[in-house]
Structure 1
């Protein structure tokens, strides 16, 4: 154990030593935090220059913060999941979208994953600009008949609905109602004074054979999947470099521009378990809505209301677990039945956008929690 602690910093509660061992086997440059039953049981980090309070790009783990704001407004009756989006945002009705409901939009069933021609980085950083262009876009499939992940645009569209109803941005509401009250290191809009704590995400390292295999299965830029990842943009777009741009971090783009730590991610999910959302709203947003084959991401991901259905992804969790991962390997979730809140970040992007160690780390935490 002492040798492991020479590589890994932080603490684990008694009974969670296996989590430390699993984390020590991960490539250095990661953070892991977890709560069980409201008590923090894991707080670990590793790698040169990485601290427990270091901040890095969260990619799509950001979406959970945006969905949480929507869930708060649904709980309060300001938003109705089964009302047409165009009732809140009239311009959205263009191009045959008048009947799309907020439920279909947030569960990726609207047919909207990007616009023809894509977006530049500077355009994607501006949620209002993205929303304006998405309002004019025709769906790529008949809404409600299939689902496809709107990886870079869903936050902007939801943000526009929120802005039309409340007069405030999704970023501002997250700051006022979630981040600040709970003192979370998770930002939709990183203040300039916190920039020294930010660590740029590093590109993945792959063998030539791995890279060739990855490129062989890369989608065409104008395919549904290619559009979903903004590969149809000019100039060419690098998804993994997205939060490394200050303009993205400063604006806190609600789909993939969030910045935070593992502590911040786990703390947000723990706030939900502590009562930020009532049990009925948690159950609604954790109910599986889209499963069987994502037209953008492939067959492996199922969605609740925006949140990913983590009980299907991690078999160690209950059917009620929900959360969201990010392209570089970050992940976060809450399991209301088991009382687990989890947050994980990586500085170096995981090859192929997925970090398989999350399976091992989540299982180790769940097993330790079951023994406690």
Structure 2
């Protein structure tokens, strides 16, 4: 068991430290985890635990990256540069065929295109390159009539949305994120890790299953076809999520779906910048824009994950937090979200894969402890 908690909490936030310590004490191997929380922009929780993790250790954040991607989309829409109701093809003429020409930008962002992947799948080098992925998908046949259903576009949504951003701005989504968000707010959350920061990077580690978890995993049966395709498992050999995240090309290019690198401080900072402001700068999102990105966009069941009412405007809805909250999890177990109702910006990362993946179970009690303090204040 690993029990040492490092870092600090502000006065009154001690229950969060206690919850984090209890989680670490129950883990058979160090999860290599970080937890950061900002309250109305102020850093109130800055904790970490692991045998090879510090507060500034950078690691793969998987689909937490999508939060940065969808924040860029929200900003462009807020600025009037991107019309969410226009067809995608109005910006990207090559995006056509099989009903794609009728798909709106709003429907695309909310995982409604049906373009889950290419038929043959993508190599690590290919899936790291958003421009290449977008080109491959531009005239592809979708898995359903675009705009009539939705399903998690796990490894391609950033490429699809990013191509629209490129057509609108003339720059890649990664460049817009760097200029509008990351650099001005000083965020330790990168879409493309600078070479000068390589010495702070540490890899994702494999999960270690208990016998009960191994039995539950084996009893789950084969992965449904749509999920296999969306997660690039239909290629030969099937994609290894750990090998993907640790691949140098993924780290270098910072694909907008799941190729980001960061710390919990960076994730919390992203969401604080969105709703509260940071580093003396104002909030990026106006209140009505924040409400719009959290608003339900996808009623019914996700055709890939089987989740219900899954998405707002690209962001995952945070049902356990509240109707105004929005964020995104990452495959290794991390989670980031903003809750305008309480002023909370939450960032949690872990480098050792959690079972069963996506937002790790400890996020429930950790977030509950955070919200209890915030609501008490």
TM-score class, shorter: over 0.9
Deviation at 1:322, TM superposition (A): 0.2
Q: SS state of the match for residue 94, structure 1?
A: coil
| Residue in 2 that maps onto 1:194 | 197
Q: Which one is further off, 324-333 or 90-99?
A: 90-99
Q: SS state of the match for residue 98, structure 1?
A: helix
Q: 1:33·1:43 contact (CA, 8 Å) conserved in 2?
A: yes
Deviation by residue 1:211-258 (Cα, 9 ceiling, x = unmatched): 34324435447x111101111112321123321011001000100000
Q: 2:40·2:272 contact (CA, 8 Å) conserved in 1?
A: no
Structure 2: how far apart are the matches of 1:296 and 1:144?
Answer: 15
Deviation at 1:318, TM superposition (A): 2.5
| Residue in 2 that maps onto 1:352 | 356
Structure 2: how far apart are the matches of 1:170 and 1:51?
Answer: 29
Deviation at 1:369, TM superposition (A): 1.1
| Residue in 2 that maps onto 1:87 | 90
Structure 1: how far apart are the matches of 2:56 and 2:68?
Answer: 19
| Residue in 1 that maps onto 2:47 | 44
Q: SS state of the match for residue 7, structure 1?
A: coil
Q: 2:296·2:309 contact (CA, 8 Å) conserved in 1?
A: no
State which of 223, 238, 241 in structure 1 corresponds to 2:240: 238
Deviation at 1:137, TM superposition (A): 1.3
Higher helix proportion (structure 1 or 2): 1
Q: 2:336·2:345 contact (CA, 8 Å) conserved in 1?
A: yes
| Residue in 1 that maps onto 2:300 | 292
Specify whether residues 62 and 218 from structure 1 end up closer, same or farther in structure 2 by C-alpha distance, changes over 3 A only. farther
Deviation at 1:17, TM superposition (A): 1.0
| Residue in 2 that maps onto 1:10 | 7
State which of 248, 252, 255 in structure 1 corresponds to 2:254: 252
In the alignment, structure 1 residue 277 sits paired with structure 2 residue 279: no
In the alignment, structure 1 residue 369 sits paired with structure 2 residue 366: no
Structure 1: how far apart are the matches of 2:261 and 2:242?
Answer: 14
Q: SS state of the match for residue 19, structure 2?
A: helix
Structure 1 runs not aligned, ≥5 long: none
State which of 143, 146, 149 in structure 1 corresponds to 2:149: 146
User: Across the two proteins, how many residue pairs are aligned to each other?
Assistant: 363
Deviation by residue 1:258-285 (Cα, 9 ceiling, x = unmatched): 0000000000100011211111211111
Q: SS state of the match for residue 91, structure 1?
A: coil
Q: 1:34·1:343 contact (CA, 8 Å) conserved in 2?
A: yes
Structure 2: how far apart are the matches of 1:296 and 1:318?
Answer: 24
Deviation by residue 1:11-54 (Cα, 9 ceiling, x = unmatched): 11111111101111234311000011222110001111211111
Q: SS state of the match for residue 141, structure 2?
A: coil
> Where in structure 2 are the equivalents of 1:182-221 lying within 5 Å?
182-217=185-220, 219-220=222-223
> Where in structure 2 are the equivalents of 1:324-343 lying within 5 Å?
324-343=328-347
| Residue in 2 that maps onto 1:307 | 315
| Residue in 2 that maps onto 1:69 | 72
> Where in structure 2 are the equivalents of 1:90-239 lying within 5 Å?
90-217=93-220, 219-220=222-223, 223-239=225-241
Q: 1:111·1:143 contact (CA, 8 Å) conserved in 2?
A: yes
Normalising by structure 2, we get a TM-score of 0.93
Deviation at 1:85, TM superposition (A): 0.4
Structure 2: how far apart are the matches of 1:110 and 1:327?
Answer: 22
Normalising by structure 1, we get a TM-score of 0.94
